[in-house]
Amino acid sequence: MSHYAKISNGKVIKVIVIDDALAPSYRSATPSKLVKTSYNTRGGVHYDPNTGQPSADQSKALRKNYAGIGYQYDQQRDAFIPPQPYPSWTLNEETCLWDSPVPYPTDGEMYIWNEETTSWDLIPSE
C-alpha cells in the first residue's frame, strides 16, 4: 500500500492509499493525475517511521515532502510544496519548504510569527 496524491491543475486535491498493484488501473480510470508520495518524507529527508530519525536509506525520500490537500506539485522540481504561510517567507529550494526571514528562536519558548513586524512574538505562558 502506498500514498498517492491526486493532482488537478498543479494542486493536490486529495491524498489516497492504493495497493501498488492496483495503482496503474486506478490511474487510467481517473481524469486527475496520480503522483506517489511518501508519508515519511519531509524537507527532502526520509525518516524512519519507528524512530523518527533520518533513515539510513535515503533513496526512500520521495518528492521532497508528503503531499497535502492544497499543496502544489511542481513537475520541474518533482516536489510537493506546501502553501506559502506568509508573504515574507521564501521557498527553500533544497527542502521545498518555506523559510521565515528570521530564524525561529531556539530558547525553548513558544513563538508565533508576526507578519506585520516580520518577527517572532513570544506566546505568553499562563
pTM, rounded to two decimals = 0.85
Print pLDDT tens along the chain (126 aa): 899 999 999 999 999 999 878 777 766 656 568 999 999 999 999 999 999 999 999 999 999 999 999 999 999 999 999 999 999 999 999 999 999 999 999 999 999 999 999 999 999 887
Which grid coordinates belong to 82? 506546501
List the domain boundaries for the chain: 1-83, 84-126
Query: Which residue in this structure is represented by grid cell 486529495?
Result: 14
